[in-house]
Structure 1
Amino acid sequence: MVIPTESALAQGKRGGERGHFPSGRASTMHVRGPQYGTIRNRVPTGAKQMNFRGETFHWHNGVYYHPNGKRFVVVRPPIGLRIGVLPIDCFMLTIGAIPYYYYYGTFYTTVNNEYEVVDPPVGALVEELPSDCEEVTIDDKVYYKVDDTYYRAVVDKRNKIMFEVVGKSVK
């Protein structure tokens, strides 16, 4: 079950100050990373290793890798994981009065001078969804589910299809 919530008033900026985007819009004009679930023989050179709640992750240019035997799988980072530096081409969104940062399907906010992975904020707009999203119909309306977050397709002021965060699964 999804809990749709009214959109929040939002403003977006790319890379902090380099460009402005309409209300809550996060662009995906950055270089795309590997598809979620992709298995790699090794992590990219320069990847930073971190531990979070007893698990090891490797981070490189906004993409997260998790060990899988002797290989590594591309994953979405867990909520609560923190990094010290954002990817260069991240996008800033302000939802209400809270600044968020978006890159490669992951939303962050600042906590104690670090960037913490957070749930997608209701009202945020993104141009694309990960390829592993699932189309679901609830009360005759089509939603797109990524993990436990639901998005709906909307048309922005430029007549472009965007995906708006509308709620989360109730467990």
Structure 2
Amino acid sequence: MKLTFLLPALLVIGAVSGSALGAQNERENDKSFKRDHDKRVEYKRDERRHEKKQRIEHKKEKREDRKQEKRKLAKYKQEKREQYRYNQRKYNYLTSHHNSVAYRQNRFINHLPRNSASIRFNGISFTFNDGLYYRKAKRGYHVVKPPRGLRINTLPRNYRHFKHHNTTYYTYQNVYYIADNDGYTVVDEPSTRLNQAIKVGNVNDYSLGQTYDSLPQAAQAVIINSQQYFKYGGIYFLPQISGDDIKYLAIKLG
């Protein structure tokens, strides 16, 4: 009889205990799930931070690469500008110094001056620039004398002119031209008449800076820096054309 009453009570106690145990397990499972969730959230957050950091570093590297490319490009442009200025100075030097350089045949240069013009005469090619004539060599160019009859359209700068036997001659760098049909033709040097000689006793009778009609008989022809002089003692006479006559300027060299 007693067992009959105890059995339902035991069943009730077992059910209550089972419910309590189930609730406790659910609470532990919830805590475990929450901990796992927090870990996953933290992992994803760390992963996003790492990716963001990598993107920032990649952008910095790209910016640095662009800066280096700009620096290289700027350096390359600067070198090109310096090379261009050097070429300009070189060509300007070659061009501007022609006026002070007398003709020297076979004078050699590596590069032609700027604004040079090609001239063909009797099957021979010449290059003309500001009064000087060049011909192509194996390496570079040689200065040459132009042949008689060669024609140019314009005279070189700083040319001189004089009249001889009613003919006007134009000369530059010991090359002589006459006007011919809106151009100028190379001719032989005209034979200019000398004034009558004036006999002078010795070198002391000449004064520097004075012009004389004739040279001393003992004067010797010399060429200094491609310029023709006549030396007498310690005095040098520089030939100068004046009309149909040649005068001689007494100077001191050195």
Place the TM-score, normalised by the shorter chain, in its bin.
0.5 to 0.7
Q: Is the 8 A contact 1:101 1:107 kept in 2?
A: yes
How high is the TM-score relative to the length of structure 2?
0.38
1:68 positional shift:
1.3
Give the corresponding residue for 1:37.
106
1:21-74 superposed Cα distances (whole Å, 9 cap, x missing partner): xxxxxxxxx432563211122211111011111011001110100111242100
Q: Is the 8 A contact 2:134 2:141 kept in 1?
A: yes
Report what 2:187 is aligned to.
Answer: 118
Query: In the alignment, what sits opposite 1:79?
Result: 148
1:93-108 equivalent positions in 2, closer than 5 A: 93-108=162-177
Aligned ranges for residues 22-171 of structure 1 at < 5 Å?
30-32=99-101, 35-123=104-192, 160-162=237-239
Residues in 2 aligned to 1:70 and 1:54: alpha-carbon distance in whole angstroms: 21
Deviation at 1:79, TM superposition (A): 0.6
What is the rounded CA distance, in whole Å, between the counterparts of 2:148 and 2:111 in structure 1?
Answer: 24
Determine if contact 2:103/2:174 at 8 Å carries over to the other structure.
no
Residue identity matched to 1:93: F
The one-letter amino acid of 1:86's match is: L
In structure 1, C-alpha distance between the alignment counterparts of 2:100 and 2:172, rounded to whole Å: 10
Point out where structure 2 has 5 or more consecutive residues left out of the alignment: 1-98, 195-217, 222-227, 231-235, 242-254
Aligned partners of 1:107 and 1:119 also within 8 Å: yes
4+ aligned runs moved over 4 Å, structure 1: 141-144
- Larger CA Rg, structure 1 vs 2: 2
How far did 1:105 drift? 1.1
Structure number with the higher strand fraction is: 1
Higher RCO (C-alpha under 8 Å, 6+ residues apart): 1
Unpaired runs of 5+ in structure 1? 1-29, 126-140, 145-150, 154-158, 165-171
Q: Is the 8 A contact 2:229 2:237 kept in 1?
A: no
After superposition, the CA RMSD in angstroms is 3.3
